[in-house]
Structure 1
Amino acid sequence: MSKSTFSLPRSGSALALCAALALPGCQQASAPPAEPEPTPPVLQAGQLHYASNHPQLALLAVTEARPASVLRVELPARLVWNEERTQRIVPAFAGRVAAIRADLGQRVQAGTTLALLASPDFGQAQADAAKAQADQHLAQQALARQRELFTAGIVARKELEQAEADAARAHAESARALARTQLYGGGTGVSQQLALRSGIDGVVVERNLNPGQELRPDQGGPALFVVTDPRSLWVQIDAREGDLDSLRPGDRFTLQVGAYPGETFSGRVTASADAIDPATRTIKVRGVVDNADRRLKAEMLATAHVAENRSGGVVVPAQAVVLAGRTHQVYVQRAPGVFEPRSVTLAHEGPGEAIVASGLAAGEKIVAGNVLLLAQQWQALAQDAAPGTPPARAKDTHKDTQP
């Protein structure tokens, strides 16, 4: 009896111990296996080799270099008033604003009065014209008397010739004084009312005067009124030296503005400057764009798209080119997952595309996306492989879950 009573506790303890020992094993068997880390890239014979399962390969977009034929170039531009259809009105005489007859956005015809000035200086010009007319009338009467006396033999020819000269001078002075007042809208009387009139058909786009304002011709500042025909606008393009062959007078270009995304407007080059701006190193090119619906506005910033004909070289995305010191480089894909840097010479570098003159052939595949990531990886491995440089140790991102 005693043996059986002592054997029971021993067997129960053994079973409990076995259960305790078996529990961690069961837990370890149920845990998912850890994913193997990807093999890091290696640098061999001047080429960067990635394993086929490396996650960075999905980030490196690859494209083919294509032969250069037509290059689409984007250039900054600005819309301004067409100065051939614009008039800026300034006062010719000092005076005070007596009345304003036109406002912003108003359509006017040639000869329309925009404002009236009370101008003593213009009144003086009117008075001078009236005096000149009176002097001319008096000189004509004197000439008529001298002719009668000369016919009667009372006066000498010399006196008649002097009267004819005086009449001619009086006529010239009267014509000059009258033309001066008529140029600014004055009649034969003295009213001291100077009318500011539009000389063209158009729309008032600026008004820089107020009622009662004192004005002087020498005070400077903006024009009192700006009248223009907004159905045609000028385009000022900042071009580089290499773009001038495609921006000659008569060449076409397209225009895009931020206010109308996805829409393009057609323009034509009319003139270009003969000097380079020393501050921006660009050349001012002027074009004209039709604006019959008046959707475009002056001082809008725009982008001019120009098609340039290129012969020789290959076209690559601009983001595929990186600068290593003073050398331009691209990364060529030699095989899937194998890349090498290639020094190239650029014939053109724009915001969207670049032309490689030498160092790359058409059809070769280059990295066009996340190129800086590849360049940094190459630089890190190159530094590790340099003599006297301790190898870089990769960070261990695996966390041990065991206590």
Structure 2
Amino acid sequence: MRSLFTLQRSAQISLCALTVLVLAGCGESQAPIAAPQAAQPIVQGQQLRFPSGHPQLALLVTQAAQPARDIPIELPSRLVWNEERTQRIYPAFAGRVTAISADVGQPVKVGTPLARLASPDFGQAQADTARAQVDARLMQQAVQRQRELFGAGIIARKDLEQSEADAARAQAEVARAQARTALYGGAGQVNQQLALSSGIQGVVVERNLNPGQELRPDQSGPGVPPLFVLSDPGSLWVQIDAREIDTGLLRTGAPFELEVAAYPGVVFTGKVLAASDFIDPGTRTIKVRGLVNNSDRRLKAEMLATARIRQSFPKGVVVPATAVTLRGTRHAVFVQTQPGVFEPRDITLAYEGPKEVVISQGLQAGEQVVAENALLLARQFHVAQEDSMGRASDAANKAGNKKADAP
């Protein structure tokens, strides 16, 4: 009986061992077989050669260099009011707003009332005018009496001349006081009513006051909004931020094209009015002012726009800006000399734009340059160079060791 039990136990152990071996064999058969590693590109002289069918070749998109032509240069710009046709109104006297006669969008002419203020300070100016007029009349009467007395021989000539001088000063004070009150629309009476009126013909484009608001003459200057902004929107200024290399194109009177996002495909035309003589230290750009016609009132102030000018290049070739890389301090492109073979080429730029560049030296029209993933290719070229130098150094070390071991 014991022998039978021993035989059964041995059979179970053998069956378990066989099962483990079968499972292990199945696991080994299902394990993935590592794919062979693709051959790496190598450097031969100044060329980087890829083996045929290398997967990285699909990423290196090439494009033929084109002969130089007129290049559109795009510059950021902003539309603002034409300051030659714009008036900003600030309070000249302290007072309280009693009436508002104009609102945004209302057309106005010269002298159109905009608002009215109750101003004790303006009333004081009116009173000064009335007082000066009274003093002038009194002086004229005194002069008349002095002339009669001088004719009778009662007073000396110097007394008459002194009286005439006092009358002339009084008349000058009347003229000054009247001019001051007339400048702000003052009437002949003292009513403390200050009228704010338009000084130009245009449209109310901004209003920053409310009924009953208290105003002071010190509420003016940079950072303080005016009470009213009047402008003629029939033309607008364009503030263009130009780079240093573009200043020669933006001379006074030079034409340019303007595009805004609100009207895709619509091109507006303008001309350059003036350019600043200094570079903005914050943006490193030169401020250029242009003028664009807006008779149809489609353009609005503070719109962001793109100003486009065209520059002619009689020589050189044009390639995408993405094709240009840096080799140290030199600009370079990668030229495909034959399928799978690339070489770096130092170049000289005549113009560098955000989308296209003009190359004056180092490249010929028709040559294929890497237009996409040029930085990836530059990195691969550097790695291949290091590998080539490492293999050359190892070979030199081995040759030196063999020579040293030789008897």
Q: TM-score, normalised by structure 1?
A: 0.82
Q: Residue 386 of structure 1 aligns to a residue in which SS?
A: helix
Q: Residue 375 of structure 1 aligns to a residue in which SS?
A: helix
Q: Distance in 1 between matches of 2:335 and 2:251?
A: 37
Where do 5+ consecutive residues of structure 2 fail to align? 1-34, 395-407
Q: Distance in 1 between matches of 2:143 and 2:67?
A: 88
* Mapped contact 1:76–1:237 kept (Cα < 8 A): yes
The one-letter code matched in structure 1 to 2:99 is: A
Number of matched pairs: 357
* Mapped contact 1:271–1:285 kept (Cα < 8 A): yes
Q: Residue 390 of structure 2 aligns to a residue in which SS?
A: coil
Matched, 1:145 2:148: no
Q: 1:166 to 1:353 in 2, by over 3 A?
A: same
* Mapped contact 2:352–2:358 kept (Cα < 8 A): yes
Matched, 1:252 2:243: no
Pairwise CA distance, 1:344: 1.8
Map 1:91-130 → 2, pairs under 5 A: 91-130=91-130
Matched, 1:343 2:346: yes
The equivalent of 2:284 in structure 1 is: 281
Deviation digits for residues 317-341 of structure 1, max 9, x if unmatched?
A: 2111122443322111212332211
Matched, 1:239 2:242: yes
* Mapped contact 1:243–1:308 kept (Cα < 8 A): no
The equivalent of 1:267 in structure 2 is: 270
Q: Distance in 1 between matches of 2:66 and 2:97?
A: 67
Q: Distance in 2 between matches of 1:112 and 1:335?
A: 77
Q: Distance in 1 between matches of 2:132 and 2:314?
A: 72
* Mapped contact 1:384–1:390 kept (Cα < 8 A): no
Q: Residue 200 of structure 2 aligns to a residue in which SS?
A: coil
Q: Residue 365 of structure 2 aligns to a residue in which SS?
A: coil
Q: Distance in 1 between matches of 2:300 and 2:61?
A: 40
Q: Distance in 1 between matches of 2:110 and 2:66?
A: 56
The equivalent of 1:155 in structure 2 is: 155
**Partner residue of 1:365 out of 368, 377, 396:** 368
The equivalent of 1:310 in structure 2 is: 313
The one-letter code matched in structure 2 to 1:99 is: A
Deviation digits for residues 152-200 of structure 1, max 9, x if unmatched?
A: 3333222221221111111100000000000000011101011111111
More deviation in 192-201 or 319-328? 319-328
Pairwise CA distance, 1:115: 0.9
Q: Distance in 2 between matches of 1:208 and 1:380?
A: 65
Pairwise CA distance, 1:38: 7.4
Pairwise CA distance, 1:360: 1.9
The equivalent of 1:4 in structure 2 is: none
The one-letter code matched in structure 2 to 1:161 is: E
More deviation in 36-45 or 296-305? 36-45
Q: Distance in 2 between matches of 1:78 and 1:385?
A: 54
More deviation in 68-77 or 170-179? 68-77
Where do 5+ consecutive residues of structure 1 fail to align? 1-34, 392-403
Map 1:68-107 → 2, pairs under 5 A: 68-107=68-107
Map 1:129-208 → 2, pairs under 5 A: 129-208=129-208
Deviation digits for residues 19-50 of structure 1, max 9, x if unmatched?
A: xxxxxxxxxxxxxxxx9997654433322334
Q: Distance in 2 between matches of 1:386 and 1:99?
A: 87
Q: Residue 177 of structure 1 aligns to a residue in which SS?
A: helix
Q: Residue 237 of structure 2 aligns to a residue in which SS?
A: strand
* Mapped contact 2:42–2:388 kept (Cα < 8 A): no
The equivalent of 1:229 in structure 2 is: 232
Pairwise CA distance, 1:267: 1.1
More deviation in 74-83 or 340-349? 340-349
* Mapped contact 2:91–2:219 kept (Cα < 8 A): no
More deviation in 364-373 or 73-82? 364-373
Deviation digits for residues 204-263 of structure 1, max 9, x if unmatched?
A: 111111111111111342111111111111111111122111100000011111222222
The equivalent of 1:352 in structure 2 is: 355
* Mapped contact 1:38–1:53 kept (Cα < 8 A): no
Over the matched positions of the two proteins, sequence identity in percent amounts to 64
Q: 1:205 to 1:184 in 2, by over 3 A?
A: same
Q: Distance in 1 between matches of 2:113 and 2:122?
A: 16
**Partner residue of 2:331 out of 328, 353, 369:** 328
Pairwise CA distance, 1:80: 0.9
The one-letter code matched in structure 1 to 2:49 is: H
Q: 1:233 to 1:390 in 2, by over 3 A?
A: farther
The one-letter code matched in structure 2 to 1:306 is: I
Pairwise CA distance, 1:311: 4.4
Q: Residue 134 of structure 1 aligns to a residue in which SS?
A: helix
Pairwise CA distance, 1:297: 1.3
